[in-house]
Amino acid sequence: MPYHKKRFLSYTFLRTVKYHIFQDPLSTHICWYLYYFPMILIPTLGLNASFLLEEEHDKVKKRSIFLLFSAMLLIISVFTNDLHQQVFHFYLNPPYSDKNYSYGFLFFVIQGWIIFCLIAMDIILIHKSKISGKKRFWLPVIPGIILLAWNIANILRVPMISTIAGDLTAICCLCIAAIFQSCILCGLIPTNSRYFELFQSNGSLDAEITDNTFHRYYYSGNFPKLTEELRECVIANSSIQENGVLIKHIPVKGGHLFWTEDISVLLDQYQDIEEQQEELTERNQLLQMTYQKEAARKKLEEQNRLLNMIQDQTYKQYELLSSYMKKLEQTESREEYDMLLSKIVVVGTYLKRRKNLVLTRYSSQGDSLTMADLKQSLAESCENLKLCRIRAAYYVQDKEKQLQADDILNCYDFFEWLIEQLFDVINSVFFRVTQIDEKLQISVHVMSSTDIHNFLKERPELLIQQEEEQEWFIRCPLS
């Protein structure tokens, strides 16, 4: 119910109490004063409400305090009139009655305050109104002029006023209610009315509002007619998709709000995306199979390349093994047979370790091997030399250092070449690999009762020295 209508009912209630319930002069006197409580507050609160339209909070707060403080002073002056009689002046002795009185100075102040608040409210509302076409804004002025004219005539005690409209309560309520109702009709006071027109004006949304029994009250657009079962499904799931239309729901006070969204375009796009995804998946699988076959082919080519390279680098050892096998088939001596088998094991060990070094080289990051790789190869070869009755030992410095792979392979190749040349003439060998000035140095001590120069003349760059009667020193420079 609008605010001014509630105040109108308060007027009517006080008037009814005064004339039909209370009979003693004091009670009717108090009810008469109570008339001015809503009479002063309604215009004051109306003016305060007009300030709330697009005003800063701090300014509105200060103005509200001033208005309410002024209104309360006027209300207090009315309720204390019996003490000072500046609002109404009584001619008889107490208890005072409203049948014989005149108006005091504060009465005219109260009437001026009421008229000021109503006029200021109209001016502010008109000034702040955003409604185009202000032809009807003069409408609230008419009841205001009537109220002003009636007050003046009532103060002058015009006889016709008391005959035609002498009821203060009814006239004030009627004029103030007319002022507020006129502001509502003109659009100066925004109200939540014309729900159906406002709901229909939103043509971009297909929606409807129903009560709890699904009886339609408001709708907009072309909202489809839904069965009760379908509505129950929508309420249970919050949304449901039906023939390319998404139906959604939210509960509202006293009912339900349903609206639709056309998602047919999105569904078509989603279907296109799914088809493209399937096509891309098939293409990806085909590319993956092609890549796997290409990777397998390249791996096989790389393996063949490494195998050919290893064979090219160790073809002498394969020839040596072939000659040992022929001698093994022709020999009849058990001792020579065992010695040939031992040599085959030593050469076979070299071939195996040489292949491992090459594979490690090409599978590692960068073209490098470590001293540890060389040490493992020398350890296995030295262990197998025991089968040939040759005591072998080695020393490798800084085994974790990364070196060029060619240097490591050259060290191991030289060790194998030296052993193959001196198989039959040495008793022991001590192989050393050290680093001097960031360069690899190979030095070998062998024990042999035979001059080894003739066996090693294939490598003239070697430094060969006899240190004692059966001890030889060999140094191999590495580039």
Domain boundaries, the chain: 3-186, 195-262, 314-477
pTM, to two decimals: 0.43
**What's the rounded mean pLDDT across residues 12-38?**
62
Burial of 365 (0-12, 13-18, 19+ CB in 10 A): exposed
Residue 471 has pLDDT above 50, yes or no: yes
Supply 71's token pair: 């209104």
Lowest mean pLDDT among 67-76, 377-386, 435-444, 447-456: 435-444
Q: What is the pLDDT of residue 58?
A: 67
In this predicted model, what pLDDT tens digit does every residue of 238-279 receive, in sequence order? 677 666 778 888 888 888 888 877 777 787 888 889 889 999
Residue 393 has pLDDT above 50, yes or no: yes
Buried b (16+ CB within 10 A) or exposed e, 135-164: eebebbeebbebbbebbebbeeeeeebeee
| Most confident residue range from 152-161, 220-229, 327-336 | 327-336
Q: What is the pLDDT of residue 39?
A: 79
Q: What is the pLDDT of residue 429?
A: 92
Residue 155's pLDDT band (boundaries 50, 70, 90)?
Answer: low
Let me know the angle formed at the C-alpha of 71 by 65 and 72, rounded to the nearest 5 degrees: 85
Residues 6+ apart with CB under 8 A from 79: 33
Q: What is the pLDDT of residue 4?
A: 45
Q: What is the pLDDT of residue 194?
A: 55
**What's the rounded mean pLDDT across residues 198-209?**
65
Residue 134 has pLDDT above 60, yes or no: no
Q: How many residues does the chain have?
A: 479
**What's the rounded mean pLDDT across residues 354-375?**
79
| Most confident residue range from 28-37, 93-102, 369-378 | 369-378
Nearest Cα to 426, choosing from 396, 463, 456? 456
Cis peptide bond upstream of 224, omega within 30: no
**What's the rounded mean pLDDT across residues 7-22?**
52
Residue 2's pLDDT band (boundaries 50, 70, 90)?
Answer: very low
Q: What is the pLDDT of residue 198?
A: 54
Lowest mean pLDDT among 47-61, 155-169, 440-454: 155-169
Residue 430 has pLDDT above 90, yes or no: yes
The rounded distance, in Å, linking the Cα atoms of 202 and 206 is: 8
Cα distances from 445 to residues 427, 435, 471, in angstroms, run: 11, 17, 7
Characterise 189 by phi-psi region: left (phi > 0), alpha (psi -120 to 50), beta (else).
beta
Q: Which backbone phi and psi does 423 adopt, to 5 degrees?
A: -50, -45
Residues 6+ apart with CB under 8 A from 167: none
195-262 is classed CATH 3.10.350? no
Q: What is the pLDDT of residue 7?
A: 46
Q: What is the pLDDT of residue 18?
A: 52
314-477 is classed CATH 3.40.50.300? no
- CB count, 10 Å around CB of 389? 12
Supply 84's token pair: 């000072």
